[in-house]
Amino acid sequence: MHRPHLHATLEAGTLTTGGHGAPLGQWALDASGATPRLAWRAGPHDAAHLLAALDAALMEHPAVLLDHAAPDELLEAGAARPTPDGLLVLRECFWQFAPRWHGRTAVPWTQRLVMSQSRRHPERPPKPEGVVYRRHIPWLGGVLSLRAIDLEPDLPAFNRWMNDPFVSRFWDEAGDMAAHRAYLQRLAADPHTSTLAMCLDGKAFGYAEAYWVKEDRLAPFCEAGDYDRGWHVLVGEPSCRGRAFASAWLPSLAHHLFLEDVRTQRIFVEPRADNARMLRNLGMNGYALLKTFDFPHKRAMLSMLLRERFFGEALWMPRHNQENPCKSTT
């Protein structure tokens, strides 16, 4: 199910939902009781506006009671549940409700075990196309999105990014257009990896490779489960580096991977062990730094994020012990 990705602002107990040219809706958020109550006040109150209002309310509170009918899919997913006081929506469960951010219901690809390169693993679903994830980032004042790489239109930026000395230091993939076209074509033919552009308000600022760990070279180092995921990332635009952006794209990428398949319980990454900035960002976003180990091309730090921790500790929001991400450029 595809809906416009609306967002909401909260001021003096009133949530205003809208954005992208949509009519504005108003909702009252009454926090005087033990569990705040959310009630429609004026304007549209369809599913897109309701989900935007719940999203904003649950950024402030771990649970809300809803004085409004909820879409059946919200109830069927367990994101909302009836109680004598009204429909209870829990932050931890709502953020696992894929249609808010993916625009679709997260029905897992049926399991069929196959062999590739002497590894037995589940057959993987077709790679995503187009925009696969959207999330409004309040401290950036825009919508962060992930979309599938489109080879020819994205190749010039990819080539420029890979030849940036800051990126090349960690990726070691500097080269010409032909080399980078071949690089992306090879990954396009690899069923265990998806290539994604990271965008803010539709403009690409970085690149991500999301992969299934069971078939990856990382698997022997982490006893990978069938649905564990991993990623590699580069931030190509210098203006989009720093804590404000890292606190947006890093948890959003994890959120996307957890939503893609409800069976994914862990995300593994293996940055260079001397990449102090990345290790710091991983630690602030809930990743456990497990061990250093040697790949043929680098000494790496194995890091892991648990699904339970990500949703249980609301790690899509900047941590309370972090500096305000809007004010940090480190």
Residues labelled catalytic: 270
Q: Which of 301, 291, 253, 275 is nearest to 137 (CA)?
A: 253
Q: Are 50 and 41 in contact (CB under 8 A)?
A: no
Q: Which of 200, 205, 203, 225 is nearest to 215 (CA)?
A: 225
Residue position matching structure tokens 């809007």: 326
Q: If phi over 0 gives left and psi between -120 and 50 gives alpha, with beta otherwise, what is residue 130?
A: left
Q: Residue 309: exposed, middle, or buried by beta-carbon count in 10 A (0-12, 13-18, 19+)?
A: middle
Residue-level length of the chain: 330
Q: Are 76 and 106 in contact (CB under 8 A)?
A: no
Provide φ and ψ at 143, rounded to 5°: -105, 120
Dihedral angle, C-alpha 117, 121, 125, 130, nearest 10 °: -70
Provide φ and ψ at 307, rounded to 5°: -55, -45
Q: In what order do the strands lie in the sheet with 229-235?
A: 131-137, 142-148, 193-200, 203-212, 229-235, 266-269, 299-306, 288-294
Q: If phi over 0 gives left and psi between -120 and 50 gives alpha, with beta otherwise, what is residue 86?
A: left
